[in-house]
Structure 1
């Protein structure tokens, strides 16, 4: 193949699979930021020292990004973000999956698949530059095949101007929301006598009765965390459950 045509896909683009679950607000935010900035021409690519991940030594004769690899990086950054788990820093997709969905995989005439373009970008640029960290693990099925787990570093997010404090802010919000959800899902005991009373009340009076029961079941700290909207949601849940119970047992 002539040198000028040695790249099969000159303009790789990340195409997420259809019918995937919705991504978090943070992932959507980060992907929009990354799409607006040319991550392949970031100043970080010129100022950071490339480190050999195996030895920890600086790579003095380090090959920088040519345009083909730059195109691959633009697609790969979005793909890694799409599958990023902010709690573990893990990219929850294999290199092969990332390669396929970025249009970087190739197939020979005899049907052999290659993900060399993606793996070289990872091994020869993204990891030495400190944007990602890779961990090799042997599978229980074969001692010869060692897949890589990819973890994103804070420097990765610096490519598109997202600081660690912004990530921490989102993690705090996630933790807070999880705690509120746990409190809302807390099992509340409403006695049979209360249910009989509630069944004879109009909706507004019934919900006020449920409110009094909830206040007696939650601690002051839990009520503070759940807030007015969370409490209103819980009242509606309990009211609907009671109505279903009453209709079922008529």
Structure 2
């Protein structure tokens, strides 16, 4: 294979899923800003000092953006914004989902999927540069690590020319929307759902109860009360079973 063709999909494009709910005003605004500028060639990419997320030390040997990594960054920024939650700063999509929808996932001849191009962009560039923070969390069901959670930092929005004050200008509307939809959110992983679905109802509800106890603080549980907790268990059990049947 000629060297110039060694990268799969040199001009990736972000293709969001169809039939999804309309993005918030802030998300549309931020995505428009990201589309109007070249985030991969921002001065921040050359002036910020890269920091090792694990040690906090400056990385003296650091790979800057070549054109292929730059093209991946342009679409990943759009994808991250599409799934961004302004209340928590969380990107509500896994690295695999981002790679898939940006056309950056590859498959070997044996059918194994690779998301290396995106994971390296995040781990070796976006995080050391301070544009994102990644966090590993354990499952509340089986104590195993779940896929990394990605959080966007104020520096990420500096790439787009969006200040913190401008960002928080949109916050009240988003909070109001979030309150209306919070009961519909499920905080179990798909692997957890599959495990719970194989249990009898009593065991499944006990698993959900333990997860809820770990999820809420003591003061929140006091406010919820026994009746409220039972209602939440009913809701989560119904939603988990419903979601599993759809898969």
Structures share a fold, TM > 0.5?
Answer: yes
Output the CA distance in 2 between the equivalents of 1:155 and 1:38: 15
CA contact (8 A) 2:136 2:145 kept: no
Contact 2:87 2:174 survives alignment (8 Å): no
Instruction: Show the counterpart of 1:75.
Output: 75
SS class of match (1:133): strand
Cα gap change, 1:4/1:164 in structure 2, threshold over 3 Å: closer, same or farther? same
- The aligned counterpart of 1:86 is 86
Residue 155 of structure 1 aligns to a residue in which SS? helix
What is the CA deviation profile of residues 12-60 of structure 1, one whole-angstrom value per residue up to 9, with x for unaligned ones?
1110000011000000000000000000000000110100000000001
TM normalised by structure 2 equals 0.68
- 2:151 aligned partner: 151
Q: After TM superposition, give the deviation of residue 2 of structure 1 in Å.
A: 3.9
| TM-score where L is the length of structure 1 | 0.68
Pairwise CA distance, 1:147 = 1.3
Retained in 2: the 8 A contact 1:138–1:147? no
Tell me which residue corresponds to 1:28: 28
Other-structure match for 2:114 = 114
Matched residues, number: 179
Task: Point out the structure with max Rg over C-alpha.
Answer: 1
Structure-2 separation of matches of 1:116 and 1:31: 24
Unaligned segments of structure 2, at least 5 residues = 180-247
Partner of 1:203: none
Deviates more, 1:132-141 or 1:168-177: 168-177
Provide the C-alpha distance between the structure 2 equivalents of 1:143 and 1:116, rounded to a whole number of angstroms. 25
Please report how far the alpha carbon of residue 145 of structure 1 lies from its aligned counterpart in structure 2 after TM superposition: 4.8
Shift of 1:122: 0.3
Distance 1:178 1:65, change over 3 A: closer
Evaluate the alpha carbon distance shift between residue 63 and residue 173 of structure 1 in structure 2; reply closer, same or farther with a 3 A threshold. Answer: same
Offset at residue 76 of structure 1 (A): 0.1
Matched residue of 2:170: which SS? helix
RMSD (Å), alpha carbons:
1.9
Partners of 1:14 and 1:40 lie apart in 2 by 15
Name the residue aligned to 2:165: 165
Contact 2:16 2:79 in 1 (8 A): yes
Q: Which residue of 2 aligns with 1:102?
A: 102
